[in-house]
Amino acid sequence: MKPSGIVTLLTDFGLDDAYVGAMKGAILSVHAKAAVVDITHGVRPFAVLQGAFLLDSAWRSFPLGTVHVAVVDPGVGTDRRAIAFKAADHYFVGPDNGLFTFLNDPISETVELATPPEAAPTFHGRDVFAPVAARLAAGTALAGLGRPHRAEPLRLPDAWASKVGEAWRAQALHCDHFGNVISNLPIRALARIKQANGMRVRTVETYEDAPPNELVALVGSSGRIEFALREGSAAARLHVAPGDTLLVT
């Protein structure tokens, strides 16, 4: 597979520090012609499952051969590994902490990257993950970047909502800029949703079908069940933030 030359970045570093800039510098120092594209740096600090959702909702929009770097709460260098692998003709680089939980495509050529024993997360971004991503984008094979690693990437056990009797114990994976609450409910749950955290919810087909000021559930642009409030914030109405529990009946 020919690399696209594109490297995407997704982190919990925010944009008010120099950490993201330093990662970009490290990439360009290895591969000056790389096109570096931000997915987002607005993941809540340490919110691995939110990061996994955001990565999942963006990477398929990029050309084949793109390298996706995800760094949220890496803590690599001890028990936790730094990995790189191939899936669906894209490359992925990051800590093996659940960030790749939603990746359903067959995974191949996984390697474990060398990491210093202890260092700050932001150091890992610049000095471990960025150079590897740059070398992948420049055409280096995965096998040349680390030692073979046979296990599948870690999948977080709470990635999907679970049934508790007739109810669902779900989670707000993400609350978007428009106040939509993206859940980890399976699509098949949609037809039976009546309440979320004790509030009445109507199921609709599109945002336009939502009556003003009424909480609705729908399959949104994320391809997941979202709670939405037309021209308002479902996140504020439900009092939830990413990672919070949603009890859905």
Q: Which is nearer to a second copy, 126 or 135 (CB)?
A: 126
- Min separation Cβ 249 and a second copy, Å: 26
- Min separation Cβ 113 and a second copy, Å: 18
Alpha-carbon gap, residue 50 to 200, rounded angstroms: 25
Find residue 85's DSSP bridge partners. 92
Cβ neighbours of residue 241 under 8 Å, at least 6 residues apart?
44, 172, 175, 235
Q: Which is nearer to a second copy, 22 or 107 (CB)?
A: 22
Alpha-carbon gap, residue 7 to 36, rounded angstroms: 5
Find residue 68's DSSP bridge partners. 8, 92
Cβ neighbours of residue 192 under 8 Å, at least 6 residues apart?
none
Kindly give the interhelix angle for 19-30 and 130-137, rounded to the nearest 10 degrees: 40
Amino acid identity for residue 29 in this structure = S
Q: Which two tokens stand for residue 206?
A: 């599109």
Q: Which is nearer to a second copy, 81 or 168 (CB)?
A: 81
Q: Which two tokens stand for residue 136?
A: 């992948």
Q: Which two tokens stand for residue 62?
A: 């990029």
- Min separation Cβ 115 and a second copy, Å: 13
- Min separation Cβ 209 and a second copy, Å: 9
Q: Which is nearer to a second copy, 160 or 207 (CB)?
A: 207
Chain residues in the site for a second copy (CB under 8 A): 4-6, 8, 10, 12-26, 28-29, 32, 35-42, 45-46, 54-55, 57-63, 66, 78, 118-123, 126, 174, 176-178, 206-208, 220-221, 231
Q: Which two tokens stand for residue 193?
A: 């949703």
Q: Which is nearer to a second copy, 22 or 154 (CB)?
A: 22
Q: Which is nearer to a second copy, 105 or 231 (CB)?
A: 231
- Min separation Cβ 35 and a second copy, Å: 7
- Min separation Cβ 143 and a second copy, Å: 26
DSSP 75: -
Q: Which two tokens stand for residue 176?
A: 């978007």
